[in-house]
Amino acid sequence: MVKKNRTLFFILLISLHFIAFNSCKQTNNPYQIEKDIVVSKAGISTAHPSATSIGVDILKKGGNSIDAAIAVQFALAVCYPVAGNIGGGGFMVYRDENGEAITLDFREKAPLLATEKMYQDEKGEIIKGLSTEGILAVGVPGSVAGMEAAFEKYSKLKNWEILVQPAVELAENGFKLTANQAKNLNSSKEKFIRNNPNLESPFTQSTPHKEGDLFIQKELANTLRQILKNKAKGFYSGEIGSTLVAQMKASGGLITQNDLDSYESKWRNPISFEYKDYTIHSMPPPSSGGIILAQLFNAVDDHQFQGFHSTEDMHIIIEAEKRAYSDRAHFMGDADFFPIPVDELTSKEYMDIRMSNFSSEMASLSDSIEHGTIESEETTHFSIVDEYGTAVSLTTTLNGAYGSKVIADGGYLLNNEMDDFSSRVGFPNMYGLVGAEVNKIEPEKRMLSSMTPTIIEYKGELFMVIGTPGGSTIITSVFQACINVMEYEMPMAEAIHSCRFHHQWKPKEVFYEQDCLNNKVIEGLKEKGHDLKTRSAIGRMEGILVTKKGYEIAADNRGDDHAAGY
Ligand code: DON
């Protein structure tokens, strides 16, 4: 009997070992993934190991954070096609070695031929799917123009070819798919075929993708070669630009050569504000990120934090989020088109008034919250620090996974960013966000965003570089990661890996990640009148924290994200 039990025990042990070994292989194969490292000089975390390695190589060649960011942006367009892009846009916050912070807006724009009601039928009803899938969902891409602008102003290497070449090679020779990527590509195949009939491409191939398969993109390599030779001109003009315009014309799209010729990225001052001894620099409009982040910090400025995911702390954060997102819906859009009362919205006094009806006992109903009065699911983020003391926080996107699912004739994916406009005032977009007149569609206007690349100083010194994808949840995720570090004193990786929750005013529920909250907190929040709902993973953060030990470089454990440095 004893012998039999022992045999069973060994069989069990061997099986467990086998399962553990294979699941370990699953997560680490085909890449060795690091989620949490400490380095002394420079480091990067991005959503894909190949992009991280390319960025680190550039840093080792003497490049600064801007050089690495450009190389990573182009690399992600190849090895992380679900969100990395040349056919999309994004935002960057940069802090130089002297502590000056500036932001770059390379957000997509509405085409010149776009009209306010282009997604509505004659009765004013929204035509389902038109702003999210297919050729009409596409905004004028901004990424390539943005990378050239960053290069001209801040590159240290001053060698564009060195920055683009790794992406060309990655597209030409292929990269190995992770298990997540293979699964994602397979589940999107129908949509790729629907939007690109008759196209032969690795996205539409009939054989299913598997982990470890080489994903080769010859056409994309050719497009990247044009960009390597002629910078942004190689994308917006010449063969690549005219092919895109011809494709638009042939399939009922709106983008013309005029749109491509007139696209410009813009340098903008950050939204900068103080919280205790911290100075926070984040993205101004057309992103709502910086304004809402300031509002959230202002709302909790006098709060005595009780502990991570305590009922009291969650309650005040949720209540602040409701108020800030109701302001987002009413006040925010492209400030180049419509004045946004940024100073008022980000002032402490304004948030004090907004929180004056806050009750520590009871949740307020979203319907009872109006915007304040004032006179008058894929994106990707990466964080970089270099040896020179500069830092980049950059969030870039096609909007939804693989954007519009339309593959341009140059082998790159086109965004579906037009859905970030209000297709009709009060009609929710794919993230459930509602908007007002200020975010209506107008030619050449940039659509409102939630992307929140952020750089934080502590007593004037670089402290943290942080950001995430996640649509409407981006801002609340960034805020929670900051609070995790600043108030709960978590190291970077823990702050990022910890569970997250989210409220955006409408819908009325507080969303939280599965298995994230203990029963006591759930009951406590319910007692205060909050509606709670579980959901899938919230965000994929990449963060860097400056500590006495060195730079803590952390990559989110919700995906294949990888941290490296030296
Ligand atoms: O700009 C925005 O707010 C959205 N287009 C971001 C989309 C996004 O983060 C999707 N990722 N999960």
| pLDDT the model gives residue 1 | 37
Task: Retrieve residue 274's tokens.
Answer: 């103080």
Q: How confident is the model at residue 402 (pLDDT cuts 50, 70, 90)?
A: very high
| Bridge partners (DSSP) listed for residue 471 | none
Nearest CA to ligand 1 atom 9: 471
DSSP E strands in 490-540: the ranges are 501-502, 510-513, 532-535
Identity at 506, one-letter amino acid code:
K
Q: How far is the CA of 19 from the centre of ligand 1 (A)?
A: 36
- Ligand 1 contact, 399 CB (< 6 A): yes
> Which run of H or of E encompasses 553?
strand 550-555
Catalytic residues: 379
Residues near 143 by Cβ (< 8 Å), separated by ≥ 6?
Answer: 73, 77, 85, 86, 87, 88, 89, 90, 106, 396
- Calpha distance 145→267 (Å, rounded): 12
Please give the number of the atom of ligand 1 that sits closest to the Cα of 474: 9
Asked if the model's pLDDT at residue 10 lies above 90, the reply is no
Q: How confident is the model at residue 18 (pLDDT cuts 50, 70, 90)?
A: very low
- Ligand 1 contact, 140 CB (< 6 A): no
| pLDDT the model gives residue 245 | 98
Average pLDDT of the residues in 382-409:
98
Q: How confident is the model at residue 222 (pLDDT cuts 50, 70, 90)?
A: very high
**Length of the chain in terms of residues written:** 566
| CB count in 10 Å sphere of residue 56 | 24
Q: How far is the CA of 380 from the centre of ligand 1 (A)?
A: 8
Which residue carries 């970089």 as its tokens?
A: 384
| pLDDT the model gives residue 374 | 65
Asked if the model's pLDDT at residue 23 lies above 70, the reply is no
In 3D space, the residue among 294, 513, 383, 423 whose CA is nearest the CA of residue 92 turns out to be: 383
Asked if the model's pLDDT at residue 326 lies above 70, the reply is yes
Q: How far is the CA of 181 from the centre of ligand 1 (A)?
A: 19
180: buried, middle or exposed (CB in 10 Å: 19+, 13-18, 0-12)? middle
Nearest CA to ligand 1 atom 5: 399
Residue 212, sorted as left (phi over 0), alpha (psi -120 to 50) or beta, turns out to be left
H helix count then E strand count, the chain: 16, 19
What are 77-91's pLDDT values in tens digits? 999 999 999 999 999
- Contact between residue 76 and residue 380 where contact means Cβ atoms under 8 Å apart: yes
Mutational test site, ligand 1, from 180, 415, 450, 468, max ligand atoms within 8 Å of CB: 450
Give CA 285 to chain center in angstroms: 15
> Which run of H or of E encompasses 104?
strand 101-106
- Ligand 1 contact, 448 CB (< 6 A): no
Q: How confident is the model at residue 372 (pLDDT cuts 50, 70, 90)?
A: confident
Average pLDDT of the residues in 259-265:
98
Asked if the model's pLDDT at residue 22 lies above 90, the reply is no
Residue 306, sorted as left (phi over 0), alpha (psi -120 to 50) or beta, turns out to be alpha
Nearest CA to ligand 1 atom 6: 471
User: Percent of the chain having pLDDT more than 70?
Assistant: 94
What are 491-517's pLDDT values in tens digits? 999 999 999 999 999 999 999 999 889
Average pLDDT of the residues in 283-301:
98
Which residue carries 């020779």 as its tokens?
A: 173
- Calpha distance 486→76 (Å, rounded): 31
Minimum mean pLDDT range among 140-144, 283-287, 432-436, 549-553 = 432-436
Instruction: Quote the mean pLDDT of the chain.
Output: 94
Give CA 487 to chain center in angstroms: 24
In 3D space, the residue among 350, 356, 355, 357 whose CA is nearest the CA of residue 373 turns out to be: 350
| pLDDT the model gives residue 375 | 54
Mutational test site, ligand 1, from 138, 180, 379, max ligand atoms within 8 Å of CB: 379
| CB count in 10 Å sphere of residue 262 | 13
3-state secondary structure of 259: helix
